[in-house]
Each structure stands twice: as structure tokens, then as C-alpha cells.
Amino acid sequence: MSIPSFPSRLPQVGTTIFTTMSALAVEHGAVNLGQGFPDFGCDPALVDAVTHAMQAGHNQYPPMAGVRALREVVSGKTQALYGHHYDVDAEVTITAGATQAILTAILACVHPGDEVIVLDPCYDSYLPNIALAGGVAVHVPLTPHSFRPDIARIAAAITPRTRLLIINSPHNPSASVWSGEDMRALEAVLAPTNVLLLSDEVYEHMVYDGAPHQSAARFAGLAERAFVVSSFGKTLHVTGWKIASVCAPAPLTAEFRKVHQFNVFSVNTPMQHGIAQYMMSPASYEGLAGFYQAKRDLFRAGLADSRLKLLPSSGSFFQCVDISQVSDLPDTEFCQWLTREIKVAAIPLSAFYADGFDQRVVRFCYAKQDDTLREALQRLRGL
Ligand code: PMP
Ligand code: GLN
């Protein structure tokens, strides 16, 4: 028997940096501040709500678009926070994590040869997703060091072939956030175009120092062309449940669902019922920014006297540091060394650049118990 060979659809792609670094952390008994996930549990009341949903018999296929009660929660929350109404039936869809939402949105609108603008550094799934759709990624860098959007460069990258622009605020990996002025400037740039927007807002409830989250839903000229993606995994500390939402105007949602229904068809039922019941109370997400801001402050205070230079962390649960005073190693090798020798895992920023650009910066995740952070700080302090 011989196994037929075929050309790879994704010849450049290997195992993700998150999986690789988590495996290395386990192998070396390192504190894992690499892959972004909490090391603490969710609210037991959420587990109770899901358990109750299973016991109540919510165990068969839900509606393709998602359990209505959960879509109502998403629509109501978006209206309350960002002042935009999404129709529960025609404009809100529940997905198997933001990962599936992003792939589905891209497959739904990007035709072979279409250009998709991505802002570097960007989350690792965007480029393979664009490649699977046959799209052409057009790279526009975020401003070096500040990681702020350069709206003039985005405008300059738009051509008649541009189908989609992908933005992400709060930003993974840099922890920067877009301001209202940034969003308004983008709105003005996109107004005369046909360009669609994919706004990855999985960290929407993690914006610090009193700043509001500037959702694309707040800006009429952006909302009318946008798929707005959020993730319950991030908001509720349940990354393993793989459940998220997409809000988009009805014509965009209709195309999205054409792909979604033949991709996963629908998403697990009891989690949807449980989350819907749990999130009826705004308390389920209102305290999140304060909770993570305290962890950010603890982590930053612990590194303040080290030679790891702290970059701003205005949102998300990431903290980037410049390693140039500590090591001459390329960032990827530095992260491997740090995991093996110092026993703290981190993610190199070069993993978020198509060309592997190394600016001597690595990313830590502070979504950890305070004791975990203190243990990591103890180990990092000597650097
Ligand atoms: N987008 C960004 C920016 C992310 O950081 C992540 C996960 N960390 C995702 C999308 C995927 O989210 P999910 O786990 O809901 O698939
Ligand atoms: N998004 C998470 C991170 O940035 C990891 C998700 C994954 O492992 N694919 O760390």
C-alpha cells in the first residue's frame, strides 16, 4: 500500500507557536506565560448553568445560527455597550470560537485573487485563513514600538482588488488598543470604498485605565461593513469551550451562515444555554477589566527593576518586553532558552510576522493566578 501524496494547501505552515511553547513548558516544568489562557477556573455558577442545561435535556442540535437566548444576550450587550442594534435573528451568529468565526468570515467573502489587508504583527490564524480562501495578504505594519495603527498607510494599501481589512483591538500580541480617533479615521478612509472589515474584538472586555473599548459597532460607517467577532472563551475564562459570536449586517450574516452551516453547522448546545443564562447579568463581564488590570499591575511592578524593558499593556492579557538588554539571542531562541533555563515560557513576537521580523520583543500572558505570576517573577527577577 502506498499513501498518495498531494501538494500541501499550506506548505509554509507547521505547528503553531502556542502549541510548541506549551509543550516545551511542560517538558521543562516551566511556568507557562506563553500560550494565552487562564490557569484559574471560571465562576462555578457558570459550570452550574451549563450542567443544568445538560440535565434539562439541551443536548441535541441547536439552531444553526445559535441558541436564540444567547444571541439575545449578544445583541443586548452590544446595544448597551456600543449603542448599535443587531437583529437577533438576522445579524448575530454563534461560532465554535473566534478561530472558526474568523475563518468562516474570510471564506464567506474572499474570492481567489482578492486582497486582504492585515496589520503586522497579527494573530497567527489570519494568514493561513486568507491562503485557504485563495486571497492575497497585503501587509501593513503597525507603527514600530507603539504598535498603533498607521491609518495613512492603510489607506495607501487599498486597491480596487481589496476585499477585506482585518483589525484587532485590544491587540494580540502587542496589548495596544485603538482610540476613538483611530476608528473615526478608519471610518473616513473606508467610506468611499467597498472594503469589508473583520474586527477581531476577542479582548473587548479587557481595556484598562478607564478607557472604553472602541468596538467597530460604535461607528456606523464601520458597522455597516463589519464582521465583529468576540469570544466567550476570553470573557468567561473558558478558552477550552471554544465558543464565540459574530455580529454583522444581515447581508453579510447571510453569506457568513452559508459557509458556517457547512463548516460546523452549529455549536454545542448546553454551553450556549448555560452562557446565555449566566450572562443575563452584566456582572458576568463588568468586573473583568479591573480583575485583569490588577494582574497587569502586579506583573509590571515585579519586572520594573529588571532589565526586561516593559512596553505598554493597555488591553488584552498580554505584556510585551524588550529583551535587548538581557540577551543577544534571536527572540525565538531566547524564548526557548528562557523556558529551558529560567523555567518561564514566553512567545516570541517574530511568530506574528510573516517574514519573521525580530525586534527583540517577547510576549508574556498574565492571565494567571497571582501566585503563578509571583513564581514567574521570582524566576525572571535575576535577568
Ligand atoms: N483572535 C485573537 C486575537 C486571539 O488572541 C484569539 C485566541 N487567543 C483568537 C482570535 C481565537 O479565539 P478562540 O479561542 O475563541 O478561538
Ligand atoms: N490565542 C492564544 C494566544 O495568543 C492561543 C490560542 C491557540 O493556542 N491557538 O496565546
Compute the distance from residue 95 Cα to the ligand 1 centre, in Å. Answer: 12
Which residues have C-beta within 8 Å of that of residue 185, sequence separation ≥ 6? 151
Percentage, residues of the chain above pLDDT 90: 98
Query: Which ligand is located closest to the Cα atom of residue 103?
Result: 1
Contact 165, 195 (CB under 8 A): yes
Measured between alpha carbons, how far is 348 from 33 in angstroms, rounded to an integer? 12
Measured between alpha carbons, how far is 285 from 279 in angstroms, rounded to an integer? 8
**Alpha-carbon dihedral sign for residues 53, 55, 56, 60:** positive
In terms of C-beta density within 10 A (0-12 exposed, 13-18 middle, 19 or more buried), how is residue 264 classed? middle
pLDDT of residue 1: 75
162: left (phi over 0), alpha (psi -120 to 50) or beta: beta
Which of 42, 41, 82, 36 is CA-nearest to residue 275? 42
Q: Which amino acid is located at 361 in the chain?
A: V
pLDDT digits (tens, 9 = 90+) for 194-241: 999 999 999 999 999 999 999 999 999 999 999 999 999 999 999 999
Query: Other CB atoms closer than 10 Å to residue 261's CB: what's the count?
Result: 14
Compute the distance from residue 35 Cα to the ligand 2 centre, in Å. Answer: 5
Q: Which amino acid is located at 231 in the chain?
A: S
Residues in contact with ligand 1 by the CB-under-6-Å rule are 36, 97-99, 123, 168, 172, 200, 202, 231, 233, 239, 242, 244
Compute the distance from residue 56 Cα to the ligand 2 centre, in Å. Answer: 33
Atom of ligand 2 nearest to the CA of 34: 10
Residue nearest to atom 3 of ligand 2 (CA): 36
Q: What residues pair up with 361 in beta bridges, in sequence order?
A: 322
Please, what are the domains in the chain? 17-36+286-380 (3.90.1150.10), 45-280 (3.40.640.10)
Atom of ligand 1 nearest to the CA of 18: 8
Compute the distance from residue 287 Cα to the ligand 1 centre, in Å. Answer: 20
Atom of ligand 2 nearest to the CA of 19: 8
Measured between alpha carbons, how far is 204 from 224 in angstroms, rounded to an integer? 19
Ligand 2 contacts CB of residue 36 (under 6 A) = yes
Three-class secondary structure of residue 244 per DSSP: strand
pLDDT digits (tens, 9 = 90+) for 287-322: 999 999 999 999 999 999 999 999 999 999 999 999
To test the pocket of ligand 2, the residue of 16, 18, 238 to mutate (highest count of ligand atoms within 8 Å of its CB) is: 18
Compute the distance from residue 304 Cα to the ligand 2 centre, in Å. Answer: 26
Element (H, E) at 294: helix 288-303
- The sheet with strand 162-168 has its strands ordered as 92-95, 244-247, 226-231, 196-200, 162-168, 115-120, 136-141
Ligand 2 contacts CB of residue 215 (under 6 A) = no
Per-residue pLDDT of the chain in tens (383 residues, 90 and over written 9) = 799 999 999 998 988 999 999 999 999 999 999 999 999 999 999 999 999 999 999 999 999 999 999 999 999 999 999 999 999 999 999 999 999 999 999 999 999 999 999 999 999 999 999 999 999 999 999 998 899 999 999 999 999 999 999 999 999 999 999 999 999 999 999 999 999 999 999 999 999 999 999 999 999 999 999 999 999 999 999 999 999 999 999 999 999 999 999 999 999 999 999 999 999 999 999 999 999 999 999 999 999 999 999 999 999 999 999 999 999 999 999 999 999 999 999 999 999 999 999 999 999 999 999 999 999 999 998 88
Q: Which amino acid is located at 247 in the chain?
A: C
Ligand 2 contacts CB of residue 16 (under 6 A) = yes
Compute the distance from residue 205 Cα to the ligand 2 centre, in Å. Answer: 17
Residue nearest to atom 4 of ligand 2 (CA): 36
Compute the distance from residue 37 Cα to the ligand 2 centre, in Å. Answer: 7
pLDDT of residue 382: 83
φ/ψ of residue 310, rounded to 5: -75, 130
Compute the distance from residue 19 Cα to the ligand 2 centre, in Å. Answer: 8
Which of 221, 225, 175, 210 is CA-nearest to residue 363? 175
Atom of ligand 1 nearest to the CA of 243: 15
**Buried b / exposed e along 153-171 (16+ C-beta atoms within 10 A):** ebeebbeeebbbbbbbbbb
pLDDT of residue 293: 98
pLDDT of residue 145: 82
